[in-house]
Amino acid sequence: MFVFSFVSQKLSLNFKHRFKKVAKSTLLLVASAGFAGIMATAAGAQDRRIVTIDDADFFGGDYRTVKDVDLDGCKSVCLSDNQCRAFTFNTSAGWCFLKTDYGELQSFAGAIAGRVVEVKAPRADQSADRKAELVFVPKSQLESAQTYSLSIANSVRPNGQTADQLRRNGQDALGERNGALAEADFLQLIKLEPGEFDAWTQLTTALLLQDPDNWQDRETKRKNAISASINAYLRSVSAPERALALELVGRAMTRSSEYKTAIKALRASLAVEENSSVRRNTRIWLPSTASGSLITKSIPTARRHGYVWYSRKNCRLAKT
């Protein structure tokens, strides 16, 4: 039986660190571009728009009332306030009821219900370039990633939730370490928005959280994690996104005992974006023979027992 340690705690911290860096670059881009609203990724701007329904009211969620305005004024006030997700405009009184979210849609004569929708600007399609960069990934796994993406598009049936609802639910499930529930949400999200980088990275994370008792189920989750991480990289644009996706490829490959490919992915991640904490702290123990136990006392001892030691401090693979 092969036994290995991935130093999961340190990699988990590094994974969170990379996510924070992507988020930070996203916020900086929002500020410089002047968009109202939050962007999902650094390269995926969003345009806030209003969709209205006559003689209707989104029940509840009121947090502010603006008086003596027309419909266009009500729309403008809502769009300029990031807290506003919906509104009800009373046409006879000229009152605009801003809402933190859109609740149940109810019939209301003389009212107009409005809801904010965020339309993403098209991301640059660099999938061909990204695919060419994955020279270390076996062709069979690249083909499996494509098949996995197509299976989501063709097999997953929408459950009626909006992309925002699925995104929030999936992130909540990840926070609770409920990988199965998060996987279901992000599959639905990818069905709606197949080009969203964040959805693919979070789907990969959801799959990596799962470790079913059934061997076949476990292998399927691990295979799908590899496919999801590759799809994330194919949709990456910025350097932080590429580095994060490559790290996920490395993690997914390690879970499937694809150690050589994992090392190359992790080295590629560091080449895209330097991470001093990774180089300083992360060490991966990889078994090269079925010795039955993991030796962690010293490098020479590990070598005598047939282990390969890899340190990202110098990005080298040492073989016995």
Q: Is the full-model pTM beyond 0.85?
A: no
Structural domain boundaries enclosing 94 = 48-117
Distance between start and end Cα atoms, the chain: 19
For residue 253, what are the β-bridge partners? none
Statement to judge: residues 207 and 310 lie in one domain: yes
Asked if 68 and 22 sit in the same domain, the reply is no
Cα 86 to Cα 61: distance, rounded to the nearest angstrom: 9
Residues in the chain: 320
Mean residue pLDDT of the chain comes to: 77
CA dist list (Å): 271 to 15, 246, 267: 16, 10, 6
Spatial separation of the C-alpha atoms in residues 287 and 306, rounded to whole Å = 7
Q: Are residues 272 and 311 in the same domain?
A: yes
Residue 77 lies in a domain: yes
Spatial neighbors of 38 by CB under 8 A, at least 6 apart, are 26, 30, 46, 82
CATH code at position 72:
3.50.4.10
**Which of the listed ranges 84-93, 158-167, 267-276 does the model predict with the highest average pLDDT?**
84-93
By C-alpha distance, which of 162, 70, 161 is closest to 116? Answer: 162
Confirm if 320 and 288 have CB atoms less than 8 A apart: yes
* Confidence at residue 275, expressed as pLDDT on a 0 to 100 scale: 67
- Position 59 in a domain: yes
- Tell me: do 153 and 255 sit in the same domain: yes
Q: Which of 83, 117, 151 represents a domain boundary (last residue)?
A: 117
Query: Same domain for 167 and 270?
Result: yes
Same domain, 166 and 310: yes
Q: Is the pLDDT of residue 301 over 60?
A: no
- pLDDT(249) > 60: yes
Res 46: pLDDT: 59
pLDDT of residue 102 exceeding 60, the answer is: yes
Taking alpha carbons only, the member of 91, 21, 12 closest to residue 57 is 91
Task: Give the CATH number, domain containing residue 188.
Answer: 1.25.40.10
Q: For residue 55, what are its two tokens?
A: 């003689």
pLDDT one-digit tens code per residue, 276-296: 654 543 454 344 433 333 333
Number of domains in the chain: 2
